[in-house]
Chain A
Amino acid sequence: MNVKGFLAAALGSAIELGIGTADDVLRHVTPDVLAAHLPRPLWARLLTACLGAPKVDAQLVVETVGIANLCEHVPAATMWSCLADIAVRALGKPGEQPAAVPTPIAESKSAPAAKGSTRVPLAPAPPPAEAPRRPTPPPPSPAAQGPAIPAPVEQHAADDSRPPPGQRFRQAATGIGRGLGANQVRRPQAQAAPAPAAAAAAAAATTAPRTPGRRGQTEAETETETSVETGDWRGKEIAVDDSQLVDWSSDNTESRDEDFGDFSRKR
């Protein structure tokens, strides 16, 4: 007689057919039961899966451990209780429906640090106010008893919460293309009124002959009066008007006075 095989087949098909759920299993196979009967390698696998999953619930526990392993290691009477609950519901006997029992798995979101409390992944959830509470001792700390956590299981690596490859990289914050979308229209820039001095300078620039720009195409080819490349400037005498000369001594004095005046004012 293969009781474990029978229970595994019955419970497995119940979950497969939607007759029962993982919550039905963990209502009886509590974390305490798992701690007492599940082998350490299975605990290691379970802890690894729970640590890597964004949401820890009964389904994760049952899928990670497996119905066959549960039936193998958990006492048959406990597994039978799961099966009996499922059968009661399937037979439609509401009078024999067991009382509301808190969901064994409390952790639904993996944000323990944000709540400021150390949460045990498999801790039972606080029951509703009207529901009777089962006296269950606190589950042992899995980190304290479990062995070294092995490499993550590939089965759960596929459904973890990593973003898809397209979202793994941040968008470059260079601003290129910002505001230049197809459906965005650039605001027209206001025409600035030129200052009088600037306007005069602009008028003079339009009448004066233009010198080649700094980055003009003919910059390398144009030969100016002060060009030194040719070397024939040594023999030339350049006429300079007095008005073009600069009185450096008076200029420096003024600038020094200004500097010192500023210095004394700062002090």
Chain B
Amino acid sequence: MSPDQRRAWFARVVESGLENKMFAPADVLQHATPDVLANHLPPELLSKVLAASLAAGSMTPERVLDTVTPELLAQHLPHDVLWQCIAAAAARAGVTNTPGKP
């Protein structure tokens, strides 16, 4: 399993979770906190996030994820963080009883 494949898969899972409303952008930011984002996103991406928010007048989780797409999340954030988000959503959906733990 190559890192590219792993990254692509986590990106696809996050994307699918958003599409299927397993979790919302706000749920993602519950785990991908500002601290996590600030420590892992590259400067140019942080700049884009801020620029988009400034242009819109507000910074919402949806707007953050418009800029930091699932592909970029999987590229820069630890996959543990993404998986905790996914597992917590699954627990909320009643699929599993152990939130955050696979």
Contact = CB atoms under 8 A, between A and B. Distances in A.
B8 A77 contact: no
A90 interface: yes
A87 B1 contact: no
A19 B17 CA distance: 18
A248 B100 CA distance: 118
Contact of A6 (B20, B80, B83): B20
B12 A90 contact: no
A91 interface: yes
B83 A19 contact: no
Contacts of B96: 77, 80-81, 84
Contacts of B22: 1-3, 6
Contact of B6 (A9, A88, A90): A90
B93 A3 contact: yes
Contact of B12 (A2, A10, A91): A10
A80 B90 contact: yes
B9 A88 contact: no
B20 A2 contact: yes
A2 B96 CA distance: 15
A165 to B, nearest CB: 38
Interface in A2-36: 2-3, 5-7, 9-10, 13-14, 17-19
A79 B74 CA distance: 22
A17 B80 contact: no
B20 A5 contact: yes
Contact of B16 (A10, A87, A90, A91): A10
A80 B95 contact: yes
Contacts of A13: 8-9, 12-13, 16
A90 B9 contact: yes
Contact of B20 (A1, A17, A89): A1
Nearest to B92: A1
Given A9-B20, A13-B9, A17-B9, A87 B95 contact: no
Q: Is the interface of B mostly helix, strand, loop or mixed?
A: helix
Interface residues of B, number: 26
Interface residues of A, number: 26
Q: Is the interface of A mostly helix, strand, loop or mixed?
A: helix
Interface string B6-40: 10111011011101111000000000000000000
Nearest to A77: B95
A85 B10 CA distance: 14
B87 interface: yes
A96 interface: yes
Interface string A74-103: 001100110111011111000010000000
A6 B17 contact: yes
Given A9-B20, A19-B1, A84 B102 contact: yes
A91 B83 contact: yes
B83 A9 contact: no
A256 to B, nearest CB: 98
Interface string A238-260: 00000000000000000000000
A91 B79 contact: yes
A12 to B, nearest CB: 9
Contacts of B21: 1-2
Interface in A218-245: none
A21 to B, nearest CB: 10
> 3 nearest interchain CB pairs?
A9-B16, A84-B102, A2-B20
